[in-house]
Structure 1
Amino acid sequence: MGLCHGKPIPALENPEELPLPLPPPPNPPAANPGTPKSWKLPFYSPSPLPGYYKTSPASNNSSSVSSTPLRLFKRPFPPPSPAKHIKALLARRHGSVKPNSASIPEGAEAEQLGLDKSFGFSKNFFSKYELGEEVGRGHFGYTCSAKAKKGDMKGEELAVKVIPKAKMTTAIAIEDVRREVRILSALTGHENLVQFYDAYEDMENVYIVMELCKGGELLDRILSRGGKYSEEDAKAVMVQILSVVSFCHLQGVVHRDLKPENFLFSSNDENSTLKAIDFGLSDFVKPDERLNDIVGSAYYVAPEVLHRSYGTEADMWSIGVIAYTTLRKSPLLGSDGIRYISSCLEGRAKF
C-alpha cells in the first residue's frame, strides 16, 4: 500500500570485489552440547549494525559497541491500516499538509497561487437567513442551524453548511465545492436524500442551505442501543440506505464516503426517515469509467479505492461495513467499539 523509493544497484565490474562478510563475534561462548550452531529460519538474518553481537564483560567500557538482545518476529504481520494513507492524500488534496511533514504525491498535482475562489453563487445570504449555533463539524467545514427571514420559507429552520474559502488552497479543493453543489442540485426527488435549497457565497465563506435533520446521526442511534440493532430494525435502516444509494448510482453519482456519521434521522422519532448527507467527496462516474482518487474514511473504504480503480461498487463495500456494525455487538464501548468492528474487515482485504 505504501510507496517505495529506491536506487538501482550498479553492476560490479569485477565480481571478486564483493563486500567482505562481517567478522566473527569476539570471544564466542562455547556451545552447549545439543545446541544448534546457527539459526535455520528463512526470514532471520544477522543485523549489520554495531551492537548486534553480545560483548564480553571486559569490553563493556567501550562506548562504540553496545549489547543488543537477539529478537525474533512473528509472522504473518497484521495488515497495514489505510488511515494514514487516506489522511495524507486528503490533506494534500485540500492543501493542509503541515510543514516538514511527509506527504504522498498524487500525480502532478501542486498548489497554485492566485486561485479564483469566485463560484458565481448569490451573495445575499445574510439578507435572507439568520445563522444560528453550530450543530456539526467536518474536515473542511462546519454546519449551523439557520432560520429564513423572508420568502416562502420564512420562519422555517434550516441547516447551512459553511465552507471557509481560506481552506480552499488548491484547485482541487475549489472544484470539490463546485461539484458538491452540482451533485446536490442534480440529486432531487428522493425521500432519503437531504433536501438542497440554494448556495451562497461572500468573501470569506460558501454557504450551502439544506434541510435540517433533528434526529441525529445513525452512529448515535447505534451507540445508544449498545452497539447493536435487532435484525428487524437493522433491515429498516439498510433498506433506506440501499434505496438512496441505488438512486445516486442511477444518476451517475458515487458517494465515496458512506458511514453511519453521514446518515441523519429527520426527527427524534423512533421510526424517523433516514437522510444521506455530505456529498463533499462524491463524484460523477460513467458506467464504463474507473475512478482513481483515494478518498473516504479509513474504516469504511473499499479495497478497490486503495488500488485506484473503482466505480459505484466502492459504495457497496461501505454499505456492507455499515450493516456489519449495526448487527454485531462490539466488545468495546463507544465509537472505538464501532471502529473495532468495522476494522475487522480490514484484515480480510488484501491492501
Structure 2
Amino acid sequence: MGQCYGKTVPGAGSHRQQNTTTIIDTSAGDGDGSRTPLPSFANGIPSVKNTPARSSSHASPWPSPYPHGVNPSPSPARASTPKRFFRRPFPPPSPAKHIRESLAKRLGKAKPKEGPIPEEHGVETDSQSLDKSFGYSKNFGAKYELGKEVGRGHFGHTCSARAKKGDLKDQPVAVKIISKSKMTSAIAIEDVRREVKLLKALSGHKHLIKFHDACEDANNVYIVMELCEGGELLDRILSRGGRYTEEDAKAIVLQILSVAAFCHLQGVVHRDLKPENFLFTSRSEDADMKLIDFGLSDFIRPEERLNDIVGSAYYVAPEVLHRSYSVEADIWSIGVITYILLCGSRPFWARTESGIFRTVLRADPNFDDLPWPSVSPEGKDFVKRLLNKDYRKRMTAAQALTHPWLRDESRPIPLDILIYKLVKSYLHATPFKRAAVKALSKALTDDQLVYLRAQFRLLEPNRDGHVSLDNFKMALARHATDAMRESRVLDIIHTMEPLAYRKMDFEEFCAAATSTYQLEALDGWEDIACAAFEHFESEGNRVISIEELARELNLGPSAYSVLRDWIRNTDGKLSLLGYTKFLHGVTLRSSLPRPR
C-alpha cells in the first residue's frame, strides 16, 4: 500500500506503480477477494497458488534460459545462478496480515467497533458494517488539484497534483488514491491506517519519501507525498545494461543502507526493499534516491520477532520463510540488490515462486562466474556478509557502512540498536560469560574496532571516558521520532538497568557490544578465536564442572555427554573447542546427537 506499485501508465515519467510479487501467508482469511491467494507449504517448502495476476494456465511471461525442449534440473540447490538480466518483477503486493495480530496492536483486547472479525477459517466480513472513517481531513478538493495518473496498482492509483493553498501552495506533489470500495475487510482498513501512521511517524531522513498530508472523502483515501520525477532504481539498472560499476554501485548502496539504518533504529522494518521501491528525485545522474512503499512495513520492538510471510519473492530472506524474523530480513534484501547491481543477475532464481523459495533456503549465490572475478575482494565480502543465511551473522545497516568496501572516515555512522541489545545481554550475563567475551574483544582487529569506536562516540562518553545508562538513554532520545515511540524502542533502556549503578569504559564496551555470531562469519574467525583463547587462558579460564557449565548454558543433564568434551581432562578448564562453543551457545537440539 505504498506510494506506487503496479503497471506503469504509458507516458508517465515517474512514480511508477510497482509490479510486485508479494508472498503473503495469513492464518485467517480476510474475505477480500482481490488479495493474492495464500501460499501452501509442503515439507516445509512454501509454494504459491495461482493468482489472478499470474495464473499457471497461461504461458509464463519470463523467457526460459534453457534451450527449447530442455527442462531445468529439479535440484533446488543450483550450482550457479542462471545468467539472466534483471527484468520486470511480479504482480502487486497484498499487504494482508493476520487479522487478529494487526487489530490487537491497534485495539488491544477490546472488541473492534467495526463489526465481527473474520474467524480462522476466513469468514468474510460484511463491508457495509465496517467503519471506513479514518479521521483525516475531508477537504482534499479544496487543497489539491489533481493532474495526470502516473501509476496504478491493485489497491489504488497515483496521480501527480498541485497544492492550491497552504505551505505547499503551487508545489507539485504525488497523491496516492485508495478506493474505500476495495477495503472489504477490517485488515484492509488497518493496512491503510498503518501506512499513513508509518509515513507520518518516520520523518526527517534525506532518503525517505516525505509525507505531506492525508485526506479522505466518502469514496477514497488520499495520501499526499513529495513527487519524485527521476524514475525507479530498476529503470536505471536496466538502462545500464543490467549492472553498475563498483564505484557507482557504492553510491546507490550507501543511500539504501543509510535509510535502512534510520528505519531500523526507529523500530520499523520495511519488508519489501527492492529496486522498484527506490525513486530518484530527478533525472540527474547524481540525484538522490527516496525509499517508498511502506504498505508491507510494520513497527517492531527491539526483541520482537515477526511471523507473517510477506515480501517479494526474489528478495525474501530465509528466516521470513521460516516465520521468525526481524530487521535483519531487510539486510538480506539489500544484499540481493547489491548482488544485482554488481553483476546484473539475481543471486537466487527459479522458474516458479516455490522454486525461488527453495533456492533462497538451500542454494548459495554464485561468485565464480563473470563478472565476479573482476569485482574487488572487498565488494564480494560485503555481499556475502549481507547474504548469510544465518540472520545473526549478517551485518547491520550501520555496520555495513563501516565495511572496508564503503568505509569513509569523514562519513558519519548512524547509531545502531544492535549495541543496545548486545549490551543488555552482557549486563545480564554471568561473570564467567563476561570474562569469555572480554577475552574475545581483545582479539578484535582494527576493522572490527572502527564500528565500535563510532558507536562509542555516538554515546558521547563523559570526560573520564566512561558511559553510563544516561549516555545510552540520551543517545536514543537524540534520534527519537514518533515511530520510535510507537515501536517502543525506548523500552530497551529499562532492561539495561544494571548500568544505572556503574560505568563502562571503551574496553568493556567492546566486550559488551561484540557479536560472536558476526565474528564467526569472518574468514579469519579461527585466528580471532585462537588469539581470544590465549587471553582467556591468562585472565578468565578456571576450573568448571560439567554441572556448572550446563547451568551457564541453561542446559539440563541430558547435555552432559556433549559438554564433557569441552572440558580438559588435565586441569578441568575449558579447552579451545569448549571456549568457542561456549561463546556461541548451544541448544539441546543442536548439541545432542540424533538417534539413529
| Common fold by TM > 0.5 | yes
The number of residue pairs the alignment matches comes to 261
1:325–1:342 CA contact under 8 A, matched in 2: no
Identity of aligned residues (%): 64
1:278-293 equivalence runs, <5 A = 278-293=293-308
Q: Give the Cα–Cα distance (whole angstroms) in 2 for the partners of residues 216 and 327 of structure 1.
A: 20
Number of the residue aligned with 2:125: 112
2:96–2:187 CA contact under 8 A, matched in 1: no
Deviation at 1:343, TM superposition (A): 2.4
Amino acid at match of 1:291: L
2:92–2:153 CA contact under 8 A, matched in 1: no
Distance 1:306 1:90, change over 3 A: farther
Matched, 1:320 2:332: no
Distance 1:154 1:307, change over 3 A: same
Distance 1:275 1:267, change over 3 A: same
Q: Deviations over 1:147-206 (max 9, x none)?
A: 011122111100011111111111111111111111111100100001001100111111
Number of the residue aligned with 1:307: 322
2:272–2:296 CA contact under 8 A, matched in 1: yes
Matched, 1:194 2:192: no
1:93–1:170 CA contact under 8 A, matched in 2: no
Number of the residue aligned with 1:9: none
Matched, 1:2 2:43: no
2:95–2:310 CA contact under 8 A, matched in 1: no
Matched, 1:343 2:349: yes
Deviation at 1:2, TM superposition (A): 3.4
Deviation at 1:107, TM superposition (A): 4.8
Deviation at 1:233, TM superposition (A): 0.6
Structure 2 residue aligned with 1:78, among 56, 64, 76?
76
Distance 1:248 1:316, change over 3 A: same
Number of the residue aligned with 2:549: none
Distance 1:92 1:233, change over 3 A: closer
Number of the residue aligned with 2:248: 233
Deviation at 1:141, TM superposition (A): 1.8
Q: Give the Cα–Cα distance (whole angstroms) in 2 for the partners of residues 177 and 226 of structure 1.
A: 37
Runs of 4+ residues deviating >3 angstroms:
1-5, 73-80, 86-95, 105-110
Amino acid at match of 2:142: S
Amino acid at match of 2:361: A
Deviation at 1:91, TM superposition (A): 8.4
Deviation at 1:138, TM superposition (A): 3.0
TM-score w.r.t. the length of structure 1 is 0.68
* SS of the residue 1:133 aligns to: strand
Q: Give the Cα–Cα distance (whole angstroms) in 2 for the partners of residues 133 and 117 of structure 1.
A: 27
Q: Give the Cα–Cα distance (whole angstroms) in 1 for the partners of residues 317 and 171 of structure 2.
A: 39
Number of the residue aligned with 1:176: 191
Number of the residue aligned with 1:264: 279
Q: What are structure 1's unaligned runs of at least 5 residues?
A: 6-72, 81-85, 96-104, 331-339
Q: Give the Cα–Cα distance (whole angstroms) in 2 for the partners of residues 313 and 292 of structure 1.
A: 13
Number of the residue aligned with 2:218: 203
Deviation at 1:293, TM superposition (A): 1.4
* SS of the residue 1:269 aligns to: coil
Tell me whether 300-309 or 220-229 shows the greater mean CA deviation.
Answer: 300-309
Number of the residue aligned with 2:170: 155
Q: Give the Cα–Cα distance (whole angstroms) in 2 for the partners of residues 89 and 154 of structure 1.
A: 33
Q: Deviations over 1:261-305 (max 9, x none)?
A: 000000111000010001011000011111111111111111211
Deviation at 1:79, TM superposition (A): 6.8
1:111–1:171 CA contact under 8 A, matched in 2: no
Distance 1:176 1:348, change over 3 A: closer
Deviation at 1:249, TM superposition (A): 0.6
Deviation at 1:139, TM superposition (A): 3.4
* SS of the residue 1:299 aligns to: helix
Q: Greater share of helix residues, 1 or 2?
A: 2
Deviation at 1:111, TM superposition (A): 2.8
1:130–1:147 CA contact under 8 A, matched in 2: yes
Q: Give the Cα–Cα distance (whole angstroms) in 2 for the partners of residues 295 and 90 of structure 1.
A: 8
Deviation at 1:140, TM superposition (A): 1.9
Matched, 1:128 2:143: yes
1:89–1:106 CA contact under 8 A, matched in 2: no
Q: Give the Cα–Cα distance (whole angstroms) in 2 for the partners of residues 88 and 237 of structure 1.
A: 24
Number of the residue aligned with 1:215: 230
2:95–2:296 CA contact under 8 A, matched in 1: no
Amino acid at match of 1:111: E
Distance 1:91 1:127, change over 3 A: closer
Higher Rg: 1
Distance 1:273 1:215, change over 3 A: same
Q: Give the Cα–Cα distance (whole angstroms) in 1 for the partners of residues 261 and 119 of structure 2.
A: 30
Deviation at 1:4, TM superposition (A): 5.3
2:97–2:308 CA contact under 8 A, matched in 1: no
Q: Greater share of strand residues, 1 or 2?
A: 1
Q: Give the Cα–Cα distance (whole angstroms) in 2 for the partners of residues 127 and 179 of structure 1.
A: 25
Matched, 1:297 2:312: yes
Q: What are structure 2's unaligned runs of at least 5 residues?
A: 1-38, 44-70, 79-89, 100-117, 351-355, 364-596
Q: Give the Cα–Cα distance (whole angstroms) in 2 for the partners of residues 286 and 196 of structure 1.
A: 23
Q: Once superposed, what is the RMSD of the aligned Cα atoms? A: 3.0
Deviation at 1:131, TM superposition (A): 0.8
